[in-house]
Amino acid sequence: MNQYKLLTPGPLTTTSSVKEEMLSDRCTWDNDYKNITQKIRAKLLELAGGDRKEYTTVLMQGSGTFAVEAVMNSAISNDDKVLIITNGAYGERIVKIAKYIGLAFKEYSVAYDEYPNEEEIRSILKEDSDITHIVMVHCETTTGILNPIGMISKLSKEFRKTFIVDAMSSFGGMEIDVHELSIDYLISSANKCIQGVPGFGFVIASIEKLIACEGNSRSLSFDLYDQWKEMNTDGKWRFTSPTHTVAAFAKALDELDEEGGIPARFARYQNNNRILRERLGKLGFHAYITDEKQSPIITTFLFPKESFQFEDFYDYVKDRGFVLYPGKLTDVNTFRIGNIGEIYEEDIQTLCNVIEKYMGVTVK
Ligand SMILES: *Cc1c(COP(=O)(O)O)cnc(C)c1O
């Protein structure tokens, strides 16, 4: 099989040592394994800045969306109403989840390249006192826009709402303090910035809020409360857990520490992203999101000219060792390049050299 690096928003390129952890088979009933789960839960809490008296971690089988669905299904009762703030496909997916479950919700959406407006949200919250919860995506992976969670957090506190954040593609790559931001549920998954392999998602949850979720769930598998109750006893998952993925994730957490924690990882990602945008900008590729709203995670680029053939470009770059990501916008032609995972400045420089060659440009 051809070896290439993934410049996508996950699954990502991971280290050999993370992958090697999956060479052993582990028993879900055994204390060694349950201790791995407990260690992961404690470490995630620490990374999120959560005090163990106030917050807890719940791991949930499945991809990231499963964890989002578990939160929506468990945290929002039939008496509640949720305000869903959207400016991209992942926010829209939360709307879809709400429709499937039959939740009372209001969607507030803005254009994909814009921030939600503080005054507009304020007036929604003033007018609709039925709203009990607010949910939003932090880094909208659709475009790479980094949404202002600080502003939403402020409103959420002011109006005393329960605050849910899909930080799937940003947690581990950027500092997010659940206590400071009064986040009640922070959701992410194994195969994003912690640099593990796919198989489970996780939720950092306010213990007080989670306890109040008992009996809310409309389904067995997506019951976050029940999952927590079982896991919190001694680290045993309800139902079969993705043992290989969990072991790899524990190793990925160690490697995050060895790198220097979230600040060091953030600096590496930010540097990757800066070089990528600068060099591609010179080659005529312009980013869809303006600099001040751009995340250090993934960038959406507009096609450089009418005649640009993405499939041809994709194959050319893939043959030279890098896999890119197609765009997800309907109104403009775009593609995406992620810069998270086991990706360093040299990789980005090599990629830019390849693209420069493709574009037939010789000047740097
Ligand atoms: C990756 C991602 C998800 C989850 O996607 P899955 O394919 O279910 O893992 C959710 N929200 C955002 C913002 C993401 O980047």
Q: What is the 3-state secondary structure (H, E, C) of 169-237?
A: CCECCECCCCCCCCCCEEEEECCCCCCCCCCEEEEEEEHHHHHCCCCCCCCCCCCHHHHHHHHHHHCCC
Going from the C-alpha of 121 to that of each of 36, 53, 117, the distances in angstroms are: 42, 31, 6
Q: Which atom of ligand 1 is nearest to the CA of 198?
A: 9
294 CB-near residues (< 8 Å, 6+ apart) = 144, 145, 146, 273, 277, 287
Q: Is residue 275 in some structural domain?
A: yes
CA 10 – ligand 1 centroid, Å: 8
CA-CA distance, 60 to 217, in Å (whole number)?
Answer: 14
Task: Identify whether residues 245 and 131 lie together within a single domain.
Answer: yes
Q: Mean of the pLDDT values across residues 211-219?
A: 98
User: Within 13 Å of residue 231, how many CA atoms lie on the same side as its CB?
Assistant: 27
CA of 127 to the centre of ligand 1 (A): 31
**Mean pLDDT score of the chain, rounded to an integer?**
96
Q: What integer is the mean pLDDT of 190-213? A: 98
pLDDT greater than 70 at residue 86: yes
Q: Are residues 285 and 342 in the same domain?
A: yes
pLDDT in tens, 222-236: 999 999 999 999 999
Residue 63, in any domain of the structure? yes
Tokens 């475009």, located at residue: 143
| Residue 161 within a domain | yes
Nearest CA to ligand 1 atom 2: 168
User: φ and ψ at 307, to 5 degrees?
Assistant: -85, 0
Q: What pLDDT is stored for residue 3 in this prediction?
A: 86
Taking the C-alpha atoms of residue 127 and residue 243, their distance in angstroms, rounded to an integer, is 48
Token reading at 78: 């039939």
Ligand 1, atom 6, lies closest to the CA of 64
d(CA 194, ligand 1 centre) in Å: 14
Question: Using CA positions, which residue lies closest to atom 12 of ligand 1?
Answer: 168
Tell me the CA–centroid distance for residue 169 and ligand 1, in Å. 7
Q: Does residue 335 have a pLDDT over 50?
A: yes
Q: Are residues 219 and 304 in the same domain?
A: no
Q: What percent of the chain has pLDDT over 90?
A: 96
Whether 148 and 80 share a structural domain? yes
Same domain for 272 and 137: no
Of 257, 284, 309, which closes a domain?
257
Tokens 């709400």 -> residue? 98
Please check whether residues 236 and 276 belong to one and the same domain: no
Confidence of residue 306 (pLDDT cuts 50, 70, 90): confident
Q: Is residue 209 part of a domain?
A: yes
Indicate if the pLDDT at residue 337 is higher than 70.
yes
Domain that holds residue 48: 16-257
Is pLDDT above 80 for 7?
Answer: yes
Mean pLDDT of 45-60: 97
Q: Residue 354 class from Cβ within 10 Å (0-12 exposed, 13-18 middle, 19+ buried)?
A: middle
pLDDT digits (tens, 9 = 90+) for 108-158: 999 999 999 999 999 999 999 999 999 999 999 999 999 999 999 999 999
Asked if residue 196 and residue 142 are part of one domain, the reply reads: yes
Contact 132, 280 (CB under 8 A): no
**Domains identified in the chain, total number:** 2
- The arithmetic mean of pLDDT across residues 285-298, rounded, is 97
CA of 65 to the centre of ligand 1 (A): 6
State mean pLDDT over 353-362. 87
- The share of the chain scoring above pLDDT 70, in percent, equals 98
The average pLDDT across 14-30 equals 96
Confidence of residue 328 (pLDDT cuts 50, 70, 90): confident
In a domain, 62, yes or no: yes
What's the CA gap between 136 and 301, in Å, rounded? 24
Compute the distance between CA of residue 88 and CA of residue 297 in angstroms, rounded to an integer.
15
Is residue 364 one of the residues assigned to a domain?
no
With respect to residue 124, please indicate whether it lies within any of the assigned structural domains. yes
- 253 with 266, same domain: the answer is no
CATH number of the domain within which 347 lies: 3.90.1150.10
131 in the same domain as 264: no
**The predicted structure's pLDDT at residue 364:** 44
Looking at 225, 257, 289, the residue that finishes a domain is 257
What number is the average pLDDT over the span 2-16?
92
Atom 4 of ligand 1, nearest CA residue: 64
Residues with CB under 6 A from ligand 1: 9-10, 63-65, 90, 137, 141, 166, 168-169, 189
pLDDT score for 342: 97
Which of 203, 223, 257 is the C-terminal boundary of a domain? Answer: 257
Q: Band of the pLDDT at 2, cuts 50, 70, 90? A: low
Q: Identify the CATH number of the domain in which residue 182 sits.
A: 3.40.640.10
Query: What pLDDT does residue 363 have?
Result: 46
Q: Are residues 251 and 272 in the same domain?
A: no
265 and 253 assigned to the same domain: no
What pLDDT was estimated at residue 361? Answer: 62
pLDDT of 1: 59
CA angle 301, 193, 249 (to 5 degrees): 145
282 and 225 fall within a common domain: no
